Amino acid sequence: MPSISEPNNGISAIAVCATGWAGTVKTTISGTDAEVTPDDYTSALRVWMDLLRISMQIHGEDWEGYSTAGGVLSIVADSAHTLVATSTTQTRLGATGTYTGAASYEMDAAHDNGVYPTHGIAVPRNVGWELSRGRHAVDGSGTVGRVRVGAGMSVRLCDSWSAIHTFESALDAEQNRARLLDIWVGGHDLGRYQLQGMHRERVGLVVDPCALVLDLLRVAA
């Protein structure tokens, strides 16, 4: 599977979903396109991951995505390719113009709606799904009707008091109507979550750094 962040580089982030996406982003090798048309309501992280996946499927190579601590995205392939993004997709990915003639590219600016805590994101060891309780079979042989449902969890974002205030505003922005977030930690895509609530916590006896605790419910892989 593709990775969104360089393995073991310690970069952790949350990408906030937003409305108003338009345009596309694609990679091209020998005249063959691998193109993503973002949903109207999604995040830059999800679009970048989708681009990596479809590029791998169409072009048959290994593709990886990277990010700096400031949210500047890069893409790396086995061979030279062209990358083009248009409309708001271009702007929100931090891209400008056409990238061509190389096997790897770094975007020109940070992607939109990214939250990058200086001291990282602490997540539970088990991040996944649960099975619903279901119902008892009529013949008493067991339980039937169990389905996979999102598991709740809490994560901690650690940074300065002023940065935490900025994160709160970004995570609960009006354009994020369903309060959906995409999370990735150290090269691992942890999926999409709905923000159920958040509060601040002290870290030690001083104001800085402090933690922002997010109560989340998983809604998609």
What is the tens place of the pLDDT at every residue in 39-87? 999 999 999 999 999 999 999 988 988 888 899 999 999 999 999 999 9
Distance CA 73, CA 207 (A): 32
**pLDDT of 206:** 74
**Strand partners for 85:** 25
Distance of CA 168 to the CA centre of its chain: 17
DSSP string of 79-139? EEEEEEE-HHHHHHHT--SEEEEEEEEEEEEEPTTEE--TT-EE--S--SEEE---EE-TT
pLDDT at 134 over 50: no
Q: Are 20 and 88 in contact (CB under 8 A)?
A: yes
What is the tens place of the pLDDT at every residue in 158-217? 999 999 999 998 887 655 667 899 998 876 788 899 998 899 988 877 778 889 999 998
What band does 11 get if pLDDT is binned at 50, 70 and 90? confident
What is the tens place of the pLDDT at every residue in 93-107? 999 989 999 999 999
**pLDDT of 124:** 76
pTM of the full predicted structure?
0.82
Burial category of 76 from C-beta neighbours within 10 Å (exposed 0-12, middle 13-18, buried 19 and up): middle
